[in-house]
Structure 1
Amino acid sequence: MELFPMNNPIFTQRLQLIPLDQKHLELMLQNVEALEKSLNIIMMRPLITDRVRRAIGMKIKKMQKADVPQQDWLTYWLVIIKAENVGAGLLGFKGFPDENCSTEIGYGIDPAYQGKGYMGEAIQALIDWAFTHPFCKVITATEVENPASKRLLERLGAELVSASDHSTSWEIRKVLT
């Protein structure tokens, strides 16, 4: 039995990435236990910070106005560590690619799972998915004074495009063959 018939999960060696629908996002805000039961996983609670809660609220509003095919670009993708069946991270795009075929990615992982390569693996998988679409050619990321995030973006091959006192902007471009 497929757990997510309406969503297309992405599988990597160690992870499963699931694009959360509106119901899942609402459960993450209102009843994490029900979300765990719905997805048959354990959810890492420290991941759901006030900042993440606000972002989920904004994502739900955007998804309500969007066509279903665009919703994977608007939602959070849950990072499930297959060996433990744990929802340990979230990542997603901040919108559908714009007229320049560009979209921004955001990401976060539970502190207990940092430094193990999970987020790099998840970001690479989601970027690979994005670049299968002809309307996406550039992924951007903004890093705010976070050395670990900076190292991660460098490992992923991101190019530094601008820097200020408090943040840096990075790009990963689709390689055209």
Structure 2
Amino acid sequence: MIETERLILKPLHHDQLLKYIKDDHSLEQEFGLLPTKKSISPGLQKALRQSTLPGVFDQDENYCYNTLWVIIAKAENRIVGDISFVGEPDQHGEIEIGYGTYEAFRGRGFMTEAIGRIVNWAKEQPDVQAIFASTTKENIASYAILEKNNFVHIGNVADMLSWKIKLK
């Protein structure tokens, strides 16, 4: 678990991830939080079940790189979004992140703050050299978050923009 002034970022263990996927507010109950309305798309549910859960269950892997991190706003006592790494660092020390803010909490700077903190956490990891992220060209808010955290636009693939920040 890592914190900022307004947020708690908590990586989910296997059983917590199952509760997140069920989306029945049992995860919020476990953490003593108020229920949050979130929409887990069928695609995300499938990815969590097929890719994320096996990595979190494998005790030999660093689950922090393989699980979903929930973002909890302290003042609201609610989960306001989530961040995940797309696996462990590769042979060059590069990792990729994905993130999302729940609709009711957008535009309040939560994700900018969370990305800034997760970048600082990654800097502390000896095997991480750089972080990548991708955004759609239309999602101005998403790439503004990356720009505010010193990510640099490095290219385009179809309708996606690629971003990178070097840490070391």
Per the TM superposition, whether the score is higher than 0.5 is yes
Report deviation, 1:147.
1.2
Please, which runs of 5 or more residues in structure 2 have no aligned partner? none
- % same residue: 30
Alignment correspondent of 1:149: 142
Report deviation, 1:47.
4.1
User: Is 1:41 the counterpart of 2:33 in the alignment?
Assistant: yes
Q: Is the 8 A contact 1:131 1:137 kept in 2?
A: yes
Q: Supply the distance in 2 between the matched residues of 1:130 and 1:63 (Cα, whole angstroms).
A: 18
- SS of the residue corresponding to residue 99 of structure 2 reads strand
Q: Is the 8 A contact 1:158 1:172 kept in 2?
A: yes
Alignment correspondent of 1:107: 99
Report deviation, 1:144.
1.7
User: Is 1:86 the counterpart of 2:78 in the alignment?
Assistant: yes
Cα deviation code 1:129-165 (max 9, x no counterpart): 1110111010000112311112111111111111134
Alignment correspondent of 1:95: 87
Please, which runs of 5 or more residues in structure 1 have no aligned partner? 1-8
Alignment correspondent of 2:15: 23
User: Is 1:67 the counterpart of 2:49 in the alignment?
Assistant: no
Q: Supply the distance in 2 between the matched residues of 1:134 and 1:97 (Cα, whole angstroms).
A: 10
Cα deviation code 1:43-83 (max 9, x no counterpart): 42224333332232120022223525x10111111100000
Name the amino acid aligned to 1:167: M
> Alpha carbon RMSD of aligned pairs, Å?
1.5
Alignment correspondent of 2:115: 123
- SS of the residue corresponding to residue 53 of structure 2 reads helix
- SS of the residue corresponding to residue 46 of structure 1 reads coil
Name the TM-score, length of structure 1 as normaliser: 0.87
